[in-house]
Amino acid sequence: MSLRNGFFMAAAVGILCAGCATTDRPVAEITRARTLIEQAEKSGAQQYAAAELDNARNKLRLADAAVEDGKNDEARARANEAAADAELAQARATSGEAKKAADEVERSTETLQRESERNQGATPLPSPAPRS
């Protein structure tokens, strides 16, 4: 093999390797987004953050479609956006559940306080007279 052919061969291998590096499928990003969406669903995001959860699902669908079209950079971006939306949905769901629990504690505290006030205002029962 001549020096010239060796150079062309090395250049072709380099171009192929560079092309492979930029077309990696965003499997990790899509898997992460899918997992975060599932976690958000389990944490009650549908009740507290339905819009954010829907956004995450839609962006994951866009990421899947971009992979099918060979647009891996776009797929990676959409998957990362889906993951961020899912994390936001889960945070809002956690916040909603915490607020719900805090409201319940407040109602219980108010009930106990009214009960205590009612018991303090009641007249005590007379104690029985001592027997001789």
Is the pLDDT at 2 greater than 60? The verdict is no
Q: What is the mean pLDDT of residues 57-82?
A: 97
Q: Where are the alpha helices (DSSP H) in the chain?
A: 3-22, 27-42, 45-48, 50-68, 72-121
| Residue at token pair 């647009």 | 71
pTM given for the model: 0.67
Average model confidence (pLDDT) for the chain?
84
Between helices 50-68 and 72-121, what is the axis angle to 10°? 160
User: Amino acid letter at 94?
Assistant: T
